[in-house]
Structure 1
Amino acid sequence: MQIRVSLTIRFILIVSSILLAVLLSIYLYTQYYLSESFYRRLSNRAETTAELFLVVDDVDSTLLRKISDKSKNALHSENITIYNQKKQKEFTTNERESIQLDEDLLAKIQIQKKYRFRHGRYHSIGIYFDQTTEPHIVLASAVDDYGREFMTRMRVIMLLLFLVVILWVSVAGWYYSGKAIAPIDEMGQKLNSIVPKNMHLRLAESDNQDEIDRLSHTINQLLDRVEETFQLQRMFVSNVSHELRNPLTKMSSQLEVSLLKQRSPAEYQKTMYSVLDDIQELIALTQNLLKLTKVDGAKQELLVDKIRVDELLWEIRSLLTKSNALYQIEILFDELPEDPDNLCILGNYALLKTAIVNLAENACKFSYDKKATIRLRYSDLDLRIAIEDKGIGIKEADLSYIFQPFYRSSQTTDIKGYGIGLSLVERIARMHGGNVEVASQPNIGTTFTLILPNSITF
């Protein structure tokens, strides 16, 4: 269901409910007022008739009947009957319309003094008249034709009024709901023109600080992220294509040159070794991509290993110095806990090792003296592993992109690599509930700090 239709229906339901409650209240109050007024008139007629018949000596039943017939205040189908204590009828204005006095009715009248009741279409009242020596019972009844006709007309008028108001409300609700969602429709049309062709465009924002303005601001922020994602995607595709094209082109060129003429076994063997190196490079690139995919799909259920961080650092130092004799790694402990168990965390041993190896190997690779310094600092909030180098550094313009896959700054184009390592480190850190901070100065050095929260402490 469209929002405009939904808003209109809700508006109609709310207004119709309020209007129905108001009309029903007016109807019931009017009905109550007319009923009370009729019973009051009927009671006055009954009491007046009883006083004339029982109190005034000069008035007999014949004269009283004539007075009743000629009275302009007489009610429609009116009947007034007077009974004595023995339930004997002493007077009635209309024999055909008189109400019989039974024991049950007599008891109710004696208890309540004035007892109202309905007798078919008649409104009736019984009065215990005690202004004479011997009390009497006066029964009066009449048909409220005026009240019934008035309420019938009132129902018709209220029904017509209700239908007219609902019709008016429907038109007004449709109009105002359209005005209310017009900014959203305009926003949708603008978004259709923005995505995906004109990603630089944004929704107009005002200073109203209303819901629509806040929504526009939120959508603009989302468009900023989407545009950035598109740019990173294009960068990723471009970089991975470049990384794959280089070894493939080298392999193709070497094989084509080898097939141009007959060559010696030694030359063929040299070409095969060169092609094998290129294949190994492709395998390494593929493995790094698989690692990146594995980390992206990793879940917290994989964080089940008890890792002693200081021992892991010594293991990584031994691994890297054996892999390259030029690498030097210094491990410093700035702040350590009193309890060594506080250096143990729950995590994924293989992935965490991969992250630190990447950072330490990069530090050795880019440092002028091939030396990296690893500092371990403990606090009540987290464990910090800072890996420093004294090398070429990173330009400020490149800092916001270094964790994107395949991104490589202009300073590292001459150094072998794929631009995947830092992206892998950042995702491993996030998987462990932490993050990676970087501080760098060109031609002075870079420090990467891996922060692991103590919330995952074993």
Structure 2
Amino acid sequence: MNSLRIRFVTGFSALFTIALALTLSIVYFLNANLRKEEYFKRLKNKADNSFRLLVTVPQVDSTLLQIIERNTATTLDAVSVTVYRGNQVIYTNGPADRPYQDSLLPLARQEGDLYTSHQHKEVVALYRRHAQQDYTVIAAAFDSYGKNNLYLLRWVLAIVFGVGILLGWIATLFFVRKIIRPLDELKGDLQLINSASLHTRLKVGSRSEEVDSLAASFNQMMDRIEEAFSLQKDFVHYASHELRTPITAQISLTEIALEKDLSPEQSHEVLQQLYQQQQQLATITHSLLLLTDKQPVDETYPLVRLDELVIRAVEFVQTLYPSARIEVTLDVSSSNEAALMIRANEPLLIMAFNNLLKNAVQYSDNNAAIVILKIKPGSREVIFRNTGEIFSPDEQARIYTPFYRASNARRTKGHGLGLALVKQIADIHKAEIKYQYDGLNIFSFCFTDEQGGSCD
């Protein structure tokens, strides 16, 4: 029952079966009630006619009435009429179940007109008062014509029900198959897509609106998957290249050291070079591990002062570039120190600020950078500004890609992981990192409150 097709077929067919059975049952019972009402009406007319002839016409006695009824054509089969005056029978035209009729007398006097059935016959009992005397007329007859028609109707409805069910199931199967066919085609198209054909897209516009919407959503997902695969492929390629470079250098240094009889000074120099290569390898490995950290900052992280982190980043970069001129500006619209507090992974956030400030100094054209800490209601923003070569639109779209190096970085050593790490750390802290140019290169690292805030 897990198949959508089977569930559709069984569900629609069951609903059709119930609806058809209910409809035919209503038709049958309406006809049965109509037959009974019509026959009771005719039987009542017969009883009233016999009563009027017997009681209101002086020339008609019981004998003459029997002769009249025997010679009068009627559609009532095996009809019998019995007239009581009080509890005494004054007329009957045939054998009758006297004990049963006697039991109807009090009921008829209470109800006035009584309709019932007895031994496959329809029975009416009428209470009439004439000339200050009580009369009860009981008539019974067998409706052979009506019951035969009802029996025939049952068979017709049973055949209609059987044929209807068969045709209904066939029609349901046909229409469900027609409805499901676009999904089957979609399934077939999906099975053609694999890791070697991620560029393949589903056709949109040739099916129903719902299926086309599903195909369009799938194509959008495939765009993201293809982009992710492409980024992963580039990441693996560049990571392999960056890891291979220091490893190859270490192997070369080791081979040279093994081939020669080195002096203590030469051995120390080789070890120093190996140490630098190992540090480079450790830096790359650590950066790659940080790039895989997707755990967002939550309430378990401690509160830290944003201005202190900025000062620590400035001190760190100043030790790397002693001649660098770094200007720090604090733009705070509130005197409340709580505005400077944020929940953060302190080592990661310091690493992000270090990278941004180091880039600002390293790629400036005057060995200077400006750091602005801007605190506004709903947001906290750390801005890094410098003068230097600007990023092209294509470079701006790729600067956060691991191992990507823009044109202004060709002259310096690096791995192309700095801004990728910054972007990852921003995502972890649910912050926004963006680049813009207004005469100066600007990188903005902005935190917004959950209650709402803007980085603009």
Q: TM-score, normalised by structure 2?
A: 0.90
Q: Does 1:392 align with 2:398?
A: no
> Percent of aligned positions with the same letter in both sequences?
27
Q: Secondary structure at the match of 1:129?
A: strand
Shift of 1:98: 4.4
Aligned to 1:316: 313
8 Å CA contact 1:247–1:281 kept in 2: the answer is yes
Q: Does 1:94 align with 2:89?
A: no
- Give 1:45-64 correspondences, 5 Å limit: 45-64=46-65
Matched residues in 1 for 2:183 and 2:117: separation? 61
Q: Does 1:453 align with 2:443?
A: no
User: How big is each residue's C-alpha offset from its partner over 1:416-451, in whole Å with a ceiling of 9 and x where there is no partner?
Assistant: 33333323322332333332111258xx75322112
Shift of 1:404: 2.7
Shift of 1:207: 8.5
User: How big is each residue's C-alpha offset from its partner over 1:65-99, in whole Å with a ceiling of 9 and x where there is no partner?
Assistant: 343344432523322221222x2222222324446
Q: Secondary structure at the match of 1:329?
A: strand
8 Å CA contact 1:92–1:98 kept in 2: the answer is no
The range that moved more, 276-285 or 389-398, is: 389-398
Matched residues in 1 for 2:189 and 2:206: separation? 19
Aligned to 2:29: 28
The range that moved more, 2-11 or 33-42, is: 2-11
8 Å CA contact 1:236–1:407 kept in 2: the answer is no
Q: Does 1:439 align with 2:440?
A: no
Matched residues in 1 for 2:69 and 2:396: separation? 109
Aligned to 2:291: 292
Read off the aligned partner of 1:403 and give its amino acid letter: Y
Q: Does 1:17 align with 2:6?
A: no
Matched residues in 2 for 1:209 and 1:349: separation? 53
- Give 1:158-173 correspondences, 5 Å limit: 158-173=157-172
Aligned to 1:193: 192
Shift of 1:306: 1.9
Matched residues in 1 for 2:410 and 2:22: separation? 79
User: How big is each residue's C-alpha offset from its partner over 1:39-80, in whole Å with a ceiling of 9 and x where there is no partner?
Assistant: 111111111111122222232223323433444325233222
RMSD: 2.6
User: How big is each residue's C-alpha offset from its partner over 1:144-181, in whole Å with a ceiling of 9 and x where there is no partner?
Assistant: 33333322322222222122122222222222222222
Alpha-carbon spacing, 1:70–1:279, altered in 2? closer, same or farther (3 Å) = farther
**Structure 2 gap segments, 5+ residues each:** none
8 Å CA contact 1:61–1:91 kept in 2: the answer is yes
Shift of 1:231: 0.5
User: How big is each residue's C-alpha offset from its partner over 1:256-292, in whole Å with a ceiling of 9 and x where there is no partner?
Assistant: 1222232323222221221121111111222222222
Matched residues in 1 for 2:449 and 2:140: separation? 91
Aligned to 1:67: 68
Alpha-carbon spacing, 1:93–1:403, altered in 2? closer, same or farther (3 Å) = farther
8 Å CA contact 1:205–1:213 kept in 2: the answer is yes
Matched residues in 2 for 1:47 and 1:131: separation? 13
Alpha-carbon spacing, 1:26–1:274, altered in 2? closer, same or farther (3 Å) = same
Q: Does 1:235 align with 2:234?
A: yes
Alpha-carbon spacing, 1:435–1:71, altered in 2? closer, same or farther (3 Å) = farther
Matched residues in 2 for 1:30 and 1:362: separation? 93
Matched residues in 2 for 1:186 and 1:211: separation? 14
Alpha-carbon spacing, 1:431–1:263, altered in 2? closer, same or farther (3 Å) = closer
Q: Does 1:355 align with 2:352?
A: yes
Shift of 1:367: 1.9
Shift of 1:101: 4.3
Matched residues in 2 for 1:169 and 1:23: separation? 15
- Give 1:36-47 correspondences, 5 Å limit: 36-47=37-48
8 Å CA contact 1:81–1:98 kept in 2: the answer is no
8 Å CA contact 2:373–2:380 kept in 1: the answer is yes
Shift of 1:335: 4.9
The range that moved more, 64-73 or 112-121, is: 64-73
Aligned to 1:147: 146
Read off the aligned partner of 1:9 and give its amino acid letter: T
8 Å CA contact 1:42–1:142 kept in 2: the answer is yes
Shift of 1:244: 0.8
Aligned to 2:422: 425
Q: Secondary structure at the match of 1:241?
A: helix
Matched residues in 2 for 1:120 and 1:300: separation? 86
- Give 1:246-261 correspondences, 5 Å limit: 246-261=245-260
Matched residues in 2 for 1:133 and 1:249: separation? 133
Shift of 1:311: 3.1
Aligned to 2:364: 367
Aligned to 1:174: 173
Matched residues in 2 for 1:23 and 1:379: separation? 75
Q: Secondary structure at the match of 1:89?
A: strand
Aligned to 2:225: 226
Matched residues in 2 for 1:320 and 1:270: separation? 27
8 Å CA contact 1:288–1:420 kept in 2: the answer is yes
Matched residues in 2 for 1:70 and 1:412: separation? 125
8 Å CA contact 1:440–1:447 kept in 2: the answer is yes
Alpha-carbon spacing, 1:122–1:209, altered in 2? closer, same or farther (3 Å) = closer
Alpha-carbon spacing, 1:20–1:414, altered in 2? closer, same or farther (3 Å) = farther
How many residue pairs are counted as aligned between the two chains? 451
Matched residues in 1 for 2:69 and 2:75: separation? 7
Alpha-carbon spacing, 1:427–1:27, altered in 2? closer, same or farther (3 Å) = farther
